Amino acid sequence: MPELPEVETTCKGIAPYCEQQIINDINVRHFGLRWPIPKNIDAITKGQKIQKISRRAKYIMMQLESGTIIMHLGMSGRLHVLTEKTQPEKHDHVDINMANNISLRYNDARRFGSIHWTEEDPNKHFLIKNLGIEPLTNAYNPEFLLKNCLNKKTNIKQFLMNHNIIVGIGNIYASETLFLAKVDPTRSANSITEKEAENIVKFSKDRLELAIENGGTTLKDFLSSDGKPGYFQNKLNVYGKANEKCQTCDNLIKKIVQGQRATFYCDSCQK
Annotated catalytic sites, by residue?
Answer: 2-3, 58, 261
Q: Is 203 in the site for DNA (CB under 7 A)?
A: no
Q: Is 124 in the site for DNA (CB under 7 A)?
A: no
Stretch that binds DNA, among 1-9, 21-29, 193-201, 202-210 (CB under 7 A): 1-9
Nearer to DNA, 7 or 98 (CB): 7
Task: State in angstroms the smallest separation of the CB of 242 from DNA.
Answer: 9
Nearer to DNA, 21 or 162 (CB): 162
Exactly one of 220, 234, 243, 271 binds DNA (CB under 7 A); that residue is 220
Q: Which helix (H) or strand (E) holds 94?
A: strand 92-98
What's phi and psi for 46, nearest 5 deg?
-55, 130
Nearer to DNA, 23 or 70 (CB): 70
Q: Are 83 and 102 within 8 A, CB to CB?
A: yes
CA angle 169, 175, 180 (to 5 degrees): 105
Terminal alpha carbon distance of the chain: 29
Exactly one of 12, 49, 52, 152 binds DNA (CB under 7 A); that residue is 152
**What distance in Å separates the CA atoms of residue 145 and residue 240, rounded to the nearest whole number?**
27
Instruction: Return the number of other C-beta atoms located less than 10 Å from residue 161's C-beta.
Output: 20
Q: Are 29 and 42 within 8 A, CB to CB?
A: no
Single out the residue of 82, 57, 59 nearest to residue 132, CA to CA: 57
Single out the residue of 80, 16, 2, 78 nearest to residue 53, CA to CA: 16
Number of residues that bind DNA (CB under 7 A): 39
Residue type, position 43, single letter: A
Residues 15-44 that bind DNA (CB under 7 A): 32, 34
Q: Is 133 in the site for DNA (CB under 7 A)?
A: no
What's phi and psi for 171, nearest 5 deg?
-65, -40
Contact map string, positions 161 to 190, toward DNA, x by CB under 7 A = x-x------xxx----------------x-
Exactly one of 21, 48, 141, 158 binds DNA (CB under 7 A); that residue is 158
Residues 231-270 that bind DNA (CB under 7 A): 259-262
Residue type, position 5, single letter: P
Exactly one of 74, 122, 135, 215 binds DNA (CB under 7 A); that residue is 74
Q: Is 222 in the site for DNA (CB under 7 A)?
A: yes
* Strand-pair partners of 72: 59, 114
Positions that interact with DNA (CB under 7 A): 1-3, 6, 32, 34, 57-58, 72, 74-75, 90-91, 109-112, 127, 151-154, 158, 161, 163, 170-172, 189, 217-222, 259-262
